[in-house]
Amino acid sequence: MNATVALTGATGFIGKHIAEHLLAAGFIVRALTRSPEKSADRRLAWVHGSLESSDSLRELVRGADSVVHCAGRVRGQSQAAFMTSNVTGSTRLLEMAKENSCCKRFLFISSLAARHPHLSWYAHSKYVAEQRLTAEKGPLALGIFRPTAVYGPGDKELQPLFRWLLRGLLLRLGQPQTQLSFLHVCDLAHAVIRWLQHHDAAAGPYELCDGLPGGYSWPRLREIGAAVRHGPVRLVGIPLPVLRLLAHLSQALQRISRKEPMLTQSKIGELTHPDWSASNQLLSERIDWAPTIRLEQALRDELF
Ligand SMILES: NC(=O)c1ccc[n+]([C@@H]2O[C@H](COP(=O)([O-])OP(=O)(O)OC[C@H]3O[C@@H](n4cnc5c(N)ncnc54)[C@H](OP(=O)(O)O)[C@@H]3O)[C@@H](O)[C@H]2O)c1
């Protein structure tokens, strides 16, 4: 019989791709959803509920051999909100997985940000979640993935940066000397499948990126943009005071629109951090995975 995976976050950007890859690899997928309108795909067995509800999480993991925990709060106004979703929600799901005797593996989609927990509420919450899951995993084989900035079809965060790059304008949000890294969502989904299928589900944490040694500098990104569009690219730095002002405006707008802001004063810590380079070495050695899509190719082939 095919193995069953309980997946959270399947209504979001990355989770949708993981669900597609799981189905293509022959897994049966049980998926958590908070919104009926986002869960029309009948190939998945949807379980209604959220990370806040033990009952729905118990139902989600029923009969599952593995859990892929991809749901997470990526925007928000307070440390408490990040902790509730990313820490308490994750440990609640782990508890339910431990109660279920079929369940052997638990993969947590953390973030490269967890490498620097002091930078933002988000980074801190992912780091604390990793620590708590590691301490409380019991007999489960726990895996922790720390993907860098992920892009691909359905992404809304990086897509504007790349669209503008291909129109000839690169907006530099961080410091001039920052090293960045990126990962195509299909490569991340492949890594999830490899980890689930590999006989040795060692924990990590594992960094994941597209494998360009040393990562991307802003001038390198400009060069890539220019090569792909066959034309010049202007690199324009956004000064820190302007970034701070934009964060104030975004937080004020949130109070009117009631939408969670991505750009907050807390997020600026991440944006201005100088080193977001990453290494696949550990994961590649453990599960024989390697990324296949470099950013330049993705921009040329419009894989985003
Ligand atoms: N995108 C990146 O560059 C990146 C990089 C590294 C790590 N990650 C991690 O990857 C994961 C997915 O990110 P994403 O970019 O795909 O974000 P996304 O598009 O915002 O998706 C987030 C998913 O989590 C679900 N979710 C959030 N809070 C929940 C809760 N309390 N209960 C149940 N479901 C909840 C959302 O459900 P709704 O659809 O109902 O909102 C959605 O399915 C996150 O854990 C994020 O930290 C992302």
| Per-residue pLDDT, 23 | 98
Which residues contact residue 13 at a Cβ distance below 8 angstroms, ignoring those fewer than 6 apart? Answer: 150, 152, 154, 155, 156, 185
| Per-residue pLDDT, 130 | 98
Tell which one of 18, 20, 32, 34 to mutate to probe ligand 1, the residue whose CB is within 8 A of the most ligand atoms: 34
**Residues 151, 158 contacting (CB under 8 angstroms):** yes
Q: Give me the domains of the chain, ranges plus CATH numbers.
A: 4-148+182-209+278-292 (3.40.50.720)
Our CA dihedral for 147, 148, 151, 157, rounded to 10 degrees, sits at 120
Share in percent of the chain as helix, strand, coil (round to 5): 45, 15, 40
Is 120 a pocket residue for ligand 1 (Cβ < 6 Å)? no
Residue nearest to atom 45 of ligand 1 (CA): 72
* Cα–Cα dist 86/93, whole Å: 11
Is 109 a pocket residue for ligand 1 (Cβ < 6 Å)? yes
Give residue 119 CA to ligand 1 midpoint distance, Å.
Answer: 19
- The single-letter code of the amino acid at 45 is A
| Per-residue pLDDT, 260 | 78
* Cα–Cα dist 227/299, whole Å: 10
Q: Which atom of ligand 1 is nearest to the CA of 71?
A: 24
Reported as a single tens digit per residue, the pLDDT across 70-100 is 999 999 889 999 999 999 999 999 999 999 9
Q: Residue 237 in 3-state DSSP?
A: strand
- Mean pLDDT per block of 10 residues along the chain (304 residues) reads 93 98 98 94 97 98 98 93 97 97 97 97 97 98 98 95 97 90 98 95 92 93 98 95 86 77 83 94 95 98 94
| Per-residue pLDDT, 246 | 87
| Per-residue pLDDT, 291 | 98
Q: What are the backbone angles phi and psi of residue 210, rounded to the nearest 5°?
A: -85, 0
165 to 20, 172, 236: CA distances (angstroms): 29, 11, 11
Give residue 214 CA to ligand 1 midpoint distance, Å.
Answer: 27
Taken in order 135, 144, 110, 63, the sign of the CA dihedral is negative
What is the enclosing helix (H) or strand (E) of 51?
none
Q: Which atom of ligand 1 is nearest to the CA of 15?
A: 16
| Per-residue pLDDT, 257 | 75
Tell which one of 13, 82, 119, 210 to mutate to probe ligand 1, the residue whose CB is within 8 A of the most ligand atoms: 13
Taken in order 44, 47, 51, 54, the sign of the CA dihedral is negative
User: pTM above the 0.75 mark?
Assistant: yes
Give residue 65 CA to ligand 1 midpoint distance, Å.
Answer: 22
| Per-residue pLDDT, 255 | 74
| Per-residue pLDDT, 57 | 98
Give residue 16 CA to ligand 1 midpoint distance, Å.
Answer: 10
Q: Residue 43 in 3-state DSSP?
A: coil
DSSP-assigned states of every residue in 89-115: HHHHHHHHHHH-TT--EEEEE--GGGG
| Per-residue pLDDT, 237 | 94
Instruction: Spell out the long-range contacts of 41-50 with Cβ–Cβ below 8 A and sequence spacing 24 or more.
Output: 44/7, 44/10, 44/19, 50/89
* Cα–Cα dist 84/82, whole Å: 6
Q: Which atom of ligand 1 is nearest to the CA of 149?
A: 3
From the CB of residue 1, how many other CB atoms can be counted at a distance below 10 Å? 5
Residue nearest to atom 13 of ligand 1 (CA): 14
Give residue 139 CA to ligand 1 midpoint distance, Å.
Answer: 26
Give residue 292 CA to ligand 1 midpoint distance, Å.
Answer: 23
